[in-house]
Amino acid sequence: MTTSKKSKAYSPVKPAVHDIPAKAPATAPSPPLSPVEDNQDGTGVIGLDPWLEPYKGGLIHRYSQYKSWKHKIALEGGYEKFSRGYEKFGFQITKTGITYREWAPNAIGAYLFGDFNNWNPLSHPMKRDQYGVYEIELPNNADGTPAIQHNSKVKITMVKPDGSRIDRLPAWIHRVTQDLSVSPTYDAIFWNPPTKYQWKNKAPRKPTSLKVYEAHVGIATTEGRVGLFTEFTANVLPRIKKLGYNTIQLMAVMEHAYYASFGYQVTNFFAASSRYGNPEELKELIDTAHGLGITVLLDVVHSHACKNVLDGLNNFDGSEHQYFHEGPKGRHELWDSRLFNYSSYETMRFLLSNLRFYMEEYRFDGFRFDGVTSMMYLHHGIGYGFSGNYNEYFGDTVDIEAVVYLMLANDMLHTLYPESITIAEDVSGMPTLCRPVSEGGVGFDYRLSMAVPDMWIKLLKEKSDDEWDIGNIVFTLTNRRYKEPSIAYCESHDQALVGDKTIAFWLMDKEMYTHMSTLTHLTPIIDRGLALHKLIRLVTHALGGEGYLTFIGNEFGHPEWLDFPRAGNNSSFHYARRQWNVVDDHLLRYKFLNEFDAAMNRAEEQIGWLSAPQAYVSLKHEGDKVLAFDRAGAVFIFNLHPTQSFADYRIGVPEAGEYMIALNSDESQYGGHNRVSNDSKFFTTPEPWAGRNHFIQVYIPCRTALVLVKKA
């Protein structure tokens, strides 16, 4: 979720395996700070980036805030105990009964009610402690069954200081359901199935080359309705495996009242969305993915919360400041949502426990943190164009409390789960974002390279092919912070949404409706579209970062756009689905793009360029529109010229020897013209060329890419 359409992305200048059936953290409760941390002041990052030296004071200040929080957390047993709030609050089930706890300091009275007591709002009062935590114990029935029946509805009713009553859904509830024929408001469900899901597979090891498939379960069906967890498990997971992606990023899992919000207006933080099925079915999805060797990340939304009162966190205990800031500081004017108070002790417990809950209960392998820019700045990035001036990252506009929360979240996850993965969605270019917390960094493993899709869309919208600036393409793809890993992508869900166009649609537009059949004439527009779709993806994959991401369906050039059912489209699901039928139809050209995407990932698996150091770019020829670089020992050659092919074209290579083709975008199985034989051999000449000591000569047709590897 980008911060704002007005925000401008800035491109900066320069293992524990999950156990079965239970998963234990990798470390035992620890002292407040490790000896290393205690001797650190947060300035270790300056060693990598001397431009940070004038902001040493800011680094020391935020690190001191981080250390202060770790000392507080240590008083409750460190991360290990503090982050298990979900085992104290909400409904706790034992052999003898049920205990329900809720923190509601503004309330002067509280009662539990629901189906179990015929919705009597007075029969089950709760006891309050000195901290504003309300508690009630419900012993088992005489026959030993729980006092609250599985899958029944519950609520908490509270008395405000003025004597009025408010009804709310429990804040830590694990399941809520919505019956739109009755009301858009959710009902809280007591989830206690008699048979728990039995985990079968261990999680795979942390990938060294992260290839991410961004997916939304609800749209992952061809039918005009909401897709299900079970359908995704059966139908989509095999596709992802076949394509060669080793990681899935699941969107819109945390419960959200408004489907069209894409999951970014969360109402119930501990509840997986009931639209797609029940909690056990989500566990089966993740377990099956693990069995296929696929890592699963959750798109987590801790940047803001839905402003709903009746079924959300807003005004939960009758006050607006319980989990959020009061006044304007507690409201996001663009998203119309509430903003967390990260300096609040119980808010910190709630959010850290939320992360821990998804790691433990559902066995996610990590998180993509949404809206990180909005969190880190008091202006939330609204209408703000980041220039790269370091004052923007350490000045008065930075929300230190939020940055420290992100430091703690990353530190907790990497301490308890060393193989967990965290990704930041940030358009600002914040330095130190992906450096370890012990150095003074924010602690993420990766950041999204959000300037890259902006560049591709701008090129396709505003420039003809012969106007493409090869130097600028290279600059944008390689311009990332030193030793701060990035995930590159051509397009994500943002570019697929209505109001924008996917790359395939920018390239081929209306001809996708009439000329994608192999039985029809290959028009110049379709020919160009297929070729550039492949080249854009490959150059982004190979040059753009230490990870790669695609959005569900875009790998095969999914037609049209994404538009969720809403009032503006008569609640239609027509554009809120994935048309798998077009890629499965062997008479349609979508299959070519799909096959190339899989071949690209297979080539990376063999060569390992994502885990290799940044590429050496040997050639950027603006006139010829030829780009060449080498990475992980492989040589990448791109001819982006619309019409001109080149014979005996000199390309500098890193080592002497014989080179052969590992990937050829012009193969007919990828919709190409077979102008280069895959049996071609390229022998080096021992003369310096393009900064390399050797060169080869190749035939490189127009709109073609070749990946060459040295023969062993």
Where in the sequence numbering do the catalytic residues fall?
370, 425
What whole-number distance in Å separates Cα of residue 701 and Cα of residue 477? 23
Nearest Cα neighbor of 456 from 446, 444, 469, 445 is 469
Tokens 């690190």 sit on residue: 63
| Start-to-end C-alpha separation, the chain | 45
Token digits of residue 265: 């207006």
Please say whether the dihedral angle defined by the alpha carbons of residues 643, 647, 650 and 655, taken in this order, is positive or negative.
positive
314-322: long-range contacts at Cβ-Cβ below 8 A with a sequence spacing of 24 or more? 314/338, 315/166, 316/104, 316/168, 316/171, 317/104, 317/105, 317/106, 317/107, 317/132, 317/158, 318/106, 318/107, 318/158, 318/160, 318/161, 318/166, 319/105, 319/106, 322/103, 322/104, 322/105, 322/106, 322/346
Q: Considering only CA atoms, which of 622, 647, 621, 652 is closest in space to residue 636?
A: 652
**Residue 677 contacts by C-beta under 8 Å, 6 or more apart in sequence?**
none
Round to whole Å and give the CA distance between 708 and 463: 30
In 75-170, which residue ranges form alpha helices assigned H by DSSP? 78-82
For 53, the token pair is 């030296």
Q: Are 78 and 25 contacting, i.e. CB atoms less than 8 angstroms apart?
A: no
* Residue 650: burial class (beta carbons within 10 Å; 0-12, 13-18, 19+): middle
593-to-494, 510, 521, 560, 640 alpha-carbon distances in Å? 21, 18, 18, 16, 17
User: Strand locations in 264-375, DSSP E?
Assistant: 266-272, 295-300, 331-332, 337-338, 366-369
What tokens does 597 get? 């995407």
Buried b (16+ CB within 10 A) or exposed e, 209-235: bbbbbbbbbbbbbeeeebbbbbbbbee
How are strands ordered across the β-sheet holding 616-621? 616-621, 626-631, 634-639, 704-710, 658-664, 681-683
Q: Are strands 127-128 and 109-114 parallel, antiparallel or unpaired?
A: unpaired
* DSSP summary character for residue 234: I
How far is 176 from 254, CA to CA, in rounded Å? 11
Does 21 sit behind a cis peptide bond, omega within 30 degrees of 0 on the bond before it? Answer: yes
Nearest-angstrom CA–CA distance, 329 and 320: 11
483: left (phi over 0), alpha (psi -120 to 50) or beta: left
Element at 411 (helix H, strand E): helix 400-416
Q: Please give, one letter per residue, the 3-state secondary structure of 105-127.
A: CCCCEEEEEEHHHCCCCCCCECE
Take residue 417 and report the two structure tokens written for it: 């789960």
